[in-house]
Amino acid sequence: MQKFILAASLPALLLVAACDNDVERAAVGAGIGAVAADATGNDPVVGAAVGAGVGALSDDL
């Protein structure tokens, strides 16, 4: 499972970095966070919240 998460992290990060503004990055980050949390057996709502925060703050990549 750890290899899956690592393999999915880079494309997800590049997808978030390709968005134009903070709202787009937050929305994509929330989606990625929810899917990743559900795939690892965690709460998707928490994953979406964390993903949205990371997405909104990842404009310096």
DSSP string, 7-24: HHHHHHHHHHHT-SSHHH
What digits encode the pLDDT tens for the residues 4-61? Answer: 666 666 676 666 666 678 888 888 889 889 988 988 899 999 999 999 998 888 776 5
pTM as predicted = 0.68
Locate the domains of the chain by residue range: 2-57
The whole-number pLDDT of residue 58 equals: 78
Specify the amino acid at residue 47. Answer: G
Token couple for 12: 């997800």
Three-state DSSP at 49 gives helix
Pairwise CA distance, residues 61 & 59, whole Å:
6
CA torsion, points 15, 21, 22, 24, in degrees to nearest 10? -50
